[in-house]
Structure 1
Amino acid sequence: MTANILIVEDEALVAWNMKDILEHEGFTCVDIAPDLDTAAQYFDSSIDLALVDLNLRDGLTGPQIGMRLSSKGTRVIFITANPGQIPDGVDGTIGVLTKPTDDATLMAAVRYAIGSAAGEPVSPPTALKLFA
């Protein structure tokens, strides 16, 4: 299973840790975007999955980023310490993981997002709150 993944996260240590985990598992991290302007460069790119924090260095722009990416066919999982900021989810996105999360949960969520898009029989990890 391979995929191009965009990390949208403004905390450098968190972002680099996610990048290391993903690349160790064979995925390609296309970039780390700390804000809306940087993420916007990928709105028309071929990204399989985006892992998006809600609160970035330019404010609560994660939901907007997630909506724009998903409208272009990118699968989106939010990873945030504040899941209550999107209690009803964001149209077109998969769900939300609460930070901090462990490596195994992160990878289970990534495998679920990529596998379900490919029609594979995969189950979401219990920590991933799916949106309706």
Structure 2
Amino acid sequence: MTARILIVEDEMMVAMEMEAVIEDLGFEPIGIAADQRQARELAELKPDVALVDLNLRDGMTGPQIGRDLAARGIQVVFVTANPRSVAQGVPGALGVVEKPVDDGTIASIIAFAIAKREGRNVMPPPGFVSFSGDITPR
């Protein structure tokens, strides 16, 4: 079964590029949410992993979206140009990676999130800052 990925990003060019990379990697992108309402609606499709920006069309709602998605059992990774905004962590989320991200980074953070979902003890990818304290921020 292929992993289902939710993209929470309001910059459509960035979101569409991420969606194309996710498809090329063999995962199923279930949609793009540009705000909190759309994220809630797409969460009903039960994604395995969510890649979440912080500052969205409706403001700095990414942290709340991340908490809500994590509470549903979705593996949340923040992908943002402002990682310091969540430096203290967000309950339930795995961690954060700084934009811009390339195809390899997207692949490695999704693989990491899936492994964590499966309960495997894996090392985070380079550039990833974990909220669980298992690595030192870069």
TM category, shorter: over 0.9
The 5 A counterparts of 1:1-132 are: 2-120=2-120, 122-132=122-132
Equivalent pair of 1:96/1:129 in contact (CA under 8 Å): yes
1:41 match: secondary structure: helix
CA RMSD between the two structures: 1.3
Q: Distance between the aligned counterparts of 1:51 and 1:131, measured in 2? A: 15
Partners of 1:43 and 1:98 lie apart in 2 by 23
What runs of 5+ residues in structure 2 fail to find an aligned partner? 133-138
Give the Cα separation in 2 of the matches to 1:76 and 1:116: 11
What is the distance in 2 between the residues matched to 1:68 and 1:80?
Answer: 18
Structure 1 vs Structure 2: percent identity of aligned residues?
A: 47
- Find runs of 4+ consecutive structure 1 residues off by over 4 angstroms: none
Check whether the contact 2:47–2:74 (CA below 8 A) recurs between aligned residues: yes
CA contact (8 A) 2:30 2:42 kept: no
Which runs of no fewer than 5 residues in structure 1 stay unpaired? none
TM-score when scaled to structure 1? 0.94
Question: Matches of 2:120 and 2:71 in 1, distance apart?
Answer: 22
